[in-house]
Structure 1
Amino acid sequence: MTSTRATPLERLADVLADDMAQVNALIRARMMSENAPRIPEVTAHLIEAGGKRIRPMMTLAAARMCGYEGDAHIKLAATVEFIHTATLLHDDVVDESAKRRGRPTANLLWDNKSSVLVGDYLFARAFQLMVEPGNLRALSILSNAAAVIAEGEVLQLTAAQNLATTEATYMQVIRGKTAALFSAATQVGPVIAGSPEAQVQALYDYGDALGICFQIVDDYLDYGGAGDGLGKNLGDDFRERKLTLPVIRAIAAADATERTFWERTIGRGQQQDGDLDHAMTLLTRHGALASTRDTARHWAAQARKSVAALPDHPLRDMLADLADFVVARVN
């Protein structure tokens, strides 16, 4: 893709096209099952649905930027995508979602049991793949990330509908369920390349900050977006009674009447026509959306700062631009 109007993500995909073709071929090969044909059916429905593959591309970019010349980064990038896909299958069951990436979810087309079990299969495949490069530290990073992701999801479940949930708890949740895989994806690249520890840390910090930014932007867009192109409908988080950053900040600033509204709609789930509009009015009144946008920009700046310390490389600049691209969705 040579157009100067290409997005940072498109430019990154263009540079990594050959590596991504190998990753995609490996994913297709490893998601097969001779004994359970439903596994590739369910997996293909989600994997072939047009996801941007941001996480595996980050693994590939980090490895290439650090001078890696082997093929282990292909297997690790596929591992990252399998972990991500497994969590999506499980999330849609937990959230009772009907739409993912603009298409009906697997649990809607098949059933919850199929989604959970196929997700388990993909986690198992991910562990098989991450072992194959024979790098114990990379294995430790990715296996730890899988555990932290599950921990984040459980924390979110226990904090859901609890109006006492703080911003600190929210950050724990998104660091677990989203940022953990971003940071693992970028950290394993310099690890397999044998890079200096300062570069390993810088790329970990970049992935952590970008993952936090990515999730905050997604939470902002549930109230401040257009509702299309996001893979979900405007207000899904409100209907699912999720305490995301805009809502946490609006509740913190709420008067008694407003708090009664949040207790009814989020705490007890007694929602009615017009509640979403009123929720958005409250978010705007207290500047919750504007402050959430500012927080997303802060984490994008942190991501850029982290990669700025790395040696000069075209891929370094693309990763920096990717942070701006992620946060641009809230502008």
Structure 2
Amino acid sequence: MAVAAPSRTDHLGKPSFPEAAAALKTMLEDELAATNEVILDHLGSQVSLIPEVATHLIQAGGKRLRPLMALAAAEISGAGGQNARYLAAAVELIHAATLLHDDVVDDSALRRGFKTANVVFGNKESVLVGDFLFARAFELMVKTGQLPVLDRLSRASCTISEGEVLQLETQGNIGATEAMHLDVIRAKTATLFEAAAQAGSSACGPSPHAEALASYGANFGIAYQLVDDALDYGLGGQVRGKSVGDDFRERKMTMPVILAYRAARSDEERGFWEAAFGGGEASFEEARRLIDRDRIGEAALHHAEGFAEEAVRAAESLPEHPLKEVLVSLAVSSAARPF
């Protein structure tokens, strides 16, 4: 494991989210490289379109936060090695499979600045290759010989699918509550971070640190997604390398909309949100204006901060390790990414 201290350059003397994520990647670069080899080895198929579609998505980039979390949990728990790499690869393949399916469900055209696989290859092809990646992920889990880990990641895969259906049920429902949206986030995003950390910790058998790491992963995942939802509305016009407006156009009920609808000052403003999420024509710029005016981005971040604090508390209970400080920095900065 390559060890490098994270840089500290923001106004509070602590690393920003990109810096903390980069530090985690640097510290685990050898293990991540080995994990990437495992992933590439399991994309093979006699049907040439399968690796072509899968590689199109996986090589588009991404932070690799989920496999990194599995690898970090394994290192902290003394469970590093081939099993940890298998599980980290399985987590990334599960994530890739869900992205392929989500892009079809959401009719997305771009991901990370590239055309989505469903646009390039077709919806049917994307769904079926997503199924293939799920199967490969389970193959990797079985290789570890750890039945509890297989059980945990299997249940996470089910929960992610439930979360996607739950999001469809709330889509366009202007009466959706904060609790309903948090249920979607827990299922769609947090559960895989939680399972990745717990599985990594238990890669070689039961670990006394598995529950603390699972709590860290779950709370980090919620904070991370809450900020991502806010970024989709520009968070007061401050956007860093992220396209905006997709959630609005897809009528997804996320925290900024839930809070903005509650903050509406007139029937006209409430009518705007009701029309926008009821399927009518509505201006994204007007949505951003209302969100900026009522400082909704800051309110959304306040929600994220609470979960980030819970993640920090979980991490602080872990044994001393060079990766522990980076996990704390990652959690703290996850709720401050836009600023």
Which range is displaced more, 112-121 or 249-258? 249-258
Q: Which amino acid aligns with 1:304?
A: V
Corresponding residue to 1:210 among 211, 220, 227: 220
Instruction: Provide structure 2 residue ranges, at least 5 long, that are not aligned to the other structure.
Output: 9-14
**Residue 116 (structure 2) pairs with residue 105 (structure 1):** yes
- Whole-Å separation in 1 of the counterparts to 2:58 and 2:86: 16
CA RMSD between the two structures: 1.7
Cα pair 2:87 2:203 within 8 Å, conserved: no
**Residue 132 (structure 2) pairs with residue 121 (structure 1):** yes
**Residue 162 (structure 2) pairs with residue 151 (structure 1):** yes
Q: Which amino acid aligns with 2:324?
A: R
State the SS of the aligned residue for 2:335. Answer: helix
Cα pair 1:149 1:178 within 8 Å, conserved: yes
**Residue 256 (structure 2) pairs with residue 246 (structure 1):** yes
* Match in the other structure for 2:11: none
Instruction: Provide structure 1 residue ranges, at least 5 long, that are not aligned to the other structure.
Output: none
- Whole-Å separation in 1 of the counterparts to 2:299 and 2:153: 33
Q: Which amino acid aligns with 2:145?
A: G
**Residue 37 (structure 2) pairs with residue 29 (structure 1):** no
Corresponding residue to 1:295 among 303, 325, 328: 303
Cα pair 1:80 1:181 within 8 Å, conserved: yes
* Match in the other structure for 1:13: 25
* Match in the other structure for 1:41: 52
Corresponding residue to 1:132 among 133, 138, 143: 143
**Residue 73 (structure 2) pairs with residue 65 (structure 1):** no
Q: Displacement, 1:69?
A: 4.2
* Match in the other structure for 1:221: 231
Cα pair 1:9 1:325 within 8 Å, conserved: no
Q: Which amino acid aligns with 2:291?
A: L
**Residue 262 (structure 2) pairs with residue 256 (structure 1):** no
Corresponding residue to 1:268 among 245, 258, 279: 279
- Whole-Å separation in 2 of the counterparts to 1:26 and 1:118: 18
State the SS of the aligned residue for 1:192. Answer: coil
- Whole-Å separation in 2 of the counterparts to 1:307 and 1:164: 36
- Whole-Å separation in 2 of the counterparts to 1:2 and 1:183: 25
1:267-313, Cα deviation, whole Å (9 max, x unpaired): 12323xxx112111222333322110111122212111110011111
Q: Which amino acid aligns with 2:322?
A: P
- Whole-Å separation in 2 of the counterparts to 1:54 and 1:325: 14
**Residue 64 (structure 2) pairs with residue 75 (structure 1):** no
Distance verdict in 2 for CA 1:107–1:69, change over 3 Å: closer
Q: Displacement, 1:126?
A: 0.9
Identity among equivalent positions (%) equals 48
Q: Which amino acid aligns with 1:121?
A: F
Q: Displacement, 1:195?
A: 5.2
Which range is displaced more, 105-114 or 76-85? 105-114
Corresponding residue to 1:162 among 162, 169, 173: 173
- Whole-Å separation in 2 of the counterparts to 1:38 and 1:72: 29
* Match in the other structure for 1:92: 103
- Whole-Å separation in 1 of the counterparts to 2:65 and 2:154: 19
1:100-132, Cα deviation, whole Å (9 max, x unpaired): 011111111111111111111111111111111
Q: Displacement, 1:196?
A: 4.5
Q: Which amino acid aligns with 2:277?
A: I
State the SS of the aligned residue for 1:132. Answer: helix
State how 1:163-182 maps to structure 2 within 5 Å. 163-182=174-193
Q: Which amino acid aligns with 2:267?
A: A
TM-score (norm 1): 0.93
Cα pair 1:102 1:229 within 8 Å, conserved: no
- Whole-Å separation in 2 of the counterparts to 1:125 and 1:196: 25
- Whole-Å separation in 2 of the counterparts to 1:142 and 1:195: 15
TM-score (norm 2): 0.91
Which range is displaced more, 213-222 or 262-271? 262-271
- Whole-Å separation in 1 of the counterparts to 2:192 and 2:154: 10
- Whole-Å separation in 2 of the counterparts to 1:69 and 1:243: 39
